[in-house]
A = this chain, B = another copy of it.
């Protein structure tokens, strides 16, 4: 079954925000001081599944009529879909990479979803999902290239504006496929959108610069940001971001680890690497900041052993 793929809208993001406010309390907008500037950090890592992905999953599943949903995810969208499916008494099958962090696999299973594993190298995850749907039916809920997912993620922007009492001047946001960045672009039309990607995985930044989708090459380097390495954005994300996003910036693994330590000490928050990428760019002085700037802290599903190593380093 193919879902409605019409374009996401600002109105949709507002409708998603209303729907989500009825089931989830707002996440805190925490005061932070970086380089002498007092601004804000949006702690989406405090969502029940530890990531903003619960928003898009909830809004997308609200538009699925059948009982079976299928998703492809390295872990956080997986948990979002599993959580929303459980709440709505649907069944979820999630296609996940075999090397996804253990914590994300365990949490997804604990939420009652069925997991189908694939190899990041050698298997195309979208093909695996298509096979599942061909065999068993169900509706695909794409992790970012989906109207409702984008609108759902945009609900975070609606929430931020309500918490601030005005539009943020700029939003610094990590970027995997571009679902959250696109949603925030729609929800906060007056804000500058700064997208942050791991070094070597800046497929969205490069797509915006080039005006067309860019695929990750086989030589893409390793990154600790497991949540930020889809191999390409989708047309709908690029269409939204093309005229809205600032030139993309990238962060190194060391900058990300440093941001994880900073959040530990200064915000008492656990952030996973990808969830700390926007903060890393802010701390490294790679994006401008003013008092109405918001830094998105997108996820906290960190592997404890890796986190312990980061703390001790």
Contact = CB atoms under 8 A, between A and B. Distances in A.
A311 B271 CA distance: 14
B30 A304 contact: no
Interface in A281-313: 300-302, 304-305, 307-309, 311-312
A265 B28 contact: no
Contact of A29 (B25, B30, B31): B25
Given A27-B28, A28-B28, A29-B25, A45 B268 contact: yes
A268 B304 contact: no
A305 B312 contact: yes
A261 B304 contact: yes
Size class of the contact patch on chain A: 20 to 34
A12 B269 CA distance: 32
Identical subunits present: 2
B50 A264 contact: no
A268 B29 CA distance: 16
Given A25-B28, A268-B301, A307-B311, 6 more contacts: A30-B46, A45-B268, A46-B269, A264-B307, A268-B300, A311-B311
28 contacts: A25-B29, A27-B28, A28-B28, A28-B46, A30-B46, A31-B48, A43-B46, A45-B268, A46-B268, A46-B269, A103-B265, A261-B304, A264-B270, A265-B304, A268-B270, A268-B271, A268-B300, A268-B301, A268-B302, A269-B269, A269-B270, A304-B312, A305-B311, A307-B308, A307-B311, A308-B309, A308-B311, A311-B311
